[in-house]
Amino acid sequence: MSTCFRRLLLAGLPPLVAAGPAVVVLARDWARIPETVASHFTFSGTADGTGGRALLLLLAVGVPVLLAVVFGGIAVAPAARAGRRMDPARAFVGLSWATGVLVGGLTLLVVLANRDATDPLAVRLPGGELGLPLVAVVVAGVIGALLTPSSPAAPDESGGGPVLRLGPTERASWTGRAASWPLTALSAALLLAGPLTGMFLTWATGIPLTAAGILVLWCSAVRVTVDERGLGIGVGPFGVPRLRIPQAEIADARVEDVAPLAYGGWGLRFVNGTTGVVLRSGPGIVVSRRSGRRLVVTVDDAATGAALLNGLRERAC
Amino acid sequence: MLIRVDPARPQPLGEQVAAAVRRGIAEGEVTAGDRLPPARELAESLDVSIHTVLAGYQKLRDEGLIDLRRGRGAVVRAGAHAGQAGVAELVRGLVLEARRFGIGDDELVELVRSAL
């Protein structure tokens, strides 16, 4: 199920589902509803306005359908695109759930209060129970927001990196590699020195040296993958350990000519809000995350990888 | 290397994978000795079945463009230079065009032979 469709369901269905109990009671007990019903209440719960019982139908069916159409429509509209930090789509689905439960719950209370009533103005809305619906409204809103997949962030003001445009059903996967010559050379030296030290001097030093050589060799190459899931960086021949940034968290990707010294050297770096996987100097992909953090990975053909990341983000709902 | 496939296109997905790799070799994006992404990883990445990717890789092996060995994965062959992949890609294009215009397979082989 696409993110778009899921968000449509998440935003559109709740008002309809929440109206269910009121609709069921209305349908079953229609004969017990008086011709004239209490339709307006003061804050304390006493009726101060009346109307035909068709009003209840409108409240139980018409309003939820309208809410479903409005919320569902806005949730998938391109205008609901997320900003860099905030994700209004999630807040919006939360609002839909809260409103749905509020309308559905109140309608149910009004229907129940009017059932078997003889004098519409004597009808009392059970005021003491207003606390419980309120809690339900808030809880529903929070659950709705948490269930919503986050939407792609808009690129920052500076315009964003290169974009590789994709067809609506097209799937793309890009793989790039980067190897570090200094690290490969270091590992070769260690793998040579380790066994030699062991054989001619002592294995107490030889074994750790050999182990270090294997470790350095493992870390001397990475494979970077870009696809629908986002950006993945696998270390070593089997891609383990693996770093992953989900597509929805990526605000923008661009290419940078990476100078290792700017990140304090080679390897896995953490420099003021930026994570770096720097194996060599030269082109690398720089990903700006929605959280404001950045990730830099040096990789061959970085331009294609960055462009694909941006293309996937633009196509996402 | 960038691999793009589209289920909406008439060619089988495996053939599309093969075509993308051929293009990659023809354009020098991957060269002799380069390792292609492991079939399982590429399948997960493209959200297709592993058999689809393997079908594509086997096609490339049959064309002599890659070596496919258990444990070592798919490696671009030493003999697979850009020109060969380019020709293989042109032949695929030729076959697709011929089918589009209703030219039978035997008829196409005859046409090619007559041009040799």
Handedness of CA B40, B44, B49, B55 (dihedral sign): negative
Residues 6+ apart with CB under 8 A from B2: A164, A172, A173, A174, A304, A308, B20, B24, B29
Interface of B with A in 28-57 (CB under 8 A): 29, 37, 41-42, 45-48
Kindly report, residue by residue over A196-220, the tens digit of the pLDDT.
888 888 888 889 999 999 998 888 8
Q: What is the largest CA-CA distance in chain A?
A: 106
Domain boundaries, chain B: 13-115
Q: Are B40 and B79 in contact (CB under 8 A)?
A: no
Nearest CA in chain B to A165: B4
Q: Which helix (H) or strand (E) holds A268?
A: strand A267-271
Q: Is the pLDDT of residue A83 over 70?
A: no
Name the least confident of A99-113, A225-239, A277-291.
A99-113
Q: What is the DSSP letter of A58?
A: I
| pLDDT tens per residue, range A3-41 | 677 778 888 888 888 888 888 888 888 888 887 888 777
User: How many whole angstroms separate alpha carbon A127 and alpha carbon A143?
Assistant: 25
Q: How far is A227 from chain B (nearest CA, A)?
A: 6
DSSP tag of A290: T
Restricting to A residues 139-178, those with a Cβ less than 8 Å away from any Cβ of B are: 164, 166-176
Size of interface A-B (CB pairs under 8 A): 52
- B38 CA to chain A: closest CA distance, Å? 10
For B36-72, what is each residue's pLDDT tens digit? 999 999 999 999 999 999 999 999 999 888 999 887 7
For the question of an ipTM over 0.85, the answer is no
Distant-in-sequence, close-in-space partners of A17: CB < 8 Å, separation ≥ 6: A100, A104
Tens digit of each residue's pLDDT (9 = 90 or more) over A51-75: 787 888 888 888 888 888 888 877 7
Task: Output A155 or A307, whichever has higher pLDDT.
Answer: A307
pLDDT given for residue A168 in this prediction: 87
Q: What would the CATH number be for the domain defined by B13-115?
A: 1.10.10.10
Whole-model pTM? 0.66
d(CA B45, nearest CA chain A) in Å: 6
Query: What is the 3-class SS of A173-229, one letter each residue?
Result: EEEEEEECHHHHHHHHHHHHHHHHHHHHCCHHHHHHHHHHHHHHHHCCEEEEEEECC
CA distance A310 to chain B (A): 14
A233 confidence band (pLDDT: 50, 70, 90)? very high
Check A173 against B48: CB less than 8 A apart.
Answer: no
Please classify residue A240 by burial: count the beta carbons closer than 10 Å to its beta carbon, then call 0-12 exposed, 13-18 middle and 19+ buried.
Answer: exposed
Mean pLDDT of chain A: 82
> pLDDT at residue B83 above 80?
no
| Model pLDDT, residue A78 | 55
Q: Higher-confidence residue: A130 or A60?
A: A60
Q: How many CB atoms are closer than 10 A to CB A119?
A: 11
Q: How far apart are CA B91 and CA A204, in angstroms?
A: 61
| Structure-model confidence comparison of residues A141 and A309, the more confident one | A309
What is the pLDDT, as a whole number, of residue A88? 67
Average pLDDT, rounded, for chain B: 87
Is the pLDDT score of A80 beyond 50?
no
Q: How far apart are CA A312 and CA A56, in angstroms?
A: 47
Percent of chain A predicted with pLDDT > 90: 18
Distance CA A86, CA A188 (A): 48
Domains identified in chain A and CATH numbers: 3-147 (no CATH), 174-180+220-316 (2.30.29.30)
Tokens coding A36? 């004239």
- Residues facing B73 on adjacent strands: B69
Partners of A170 on chain B (C-beta within 8 Å) are 4-6, 8
Separation of alpha carbons A252 and A84, rounded Å: 9
A286, A282, A277: which is closest to A306 by C-alpha?
Answer: A286
State the pLDDT at residue A151. 62
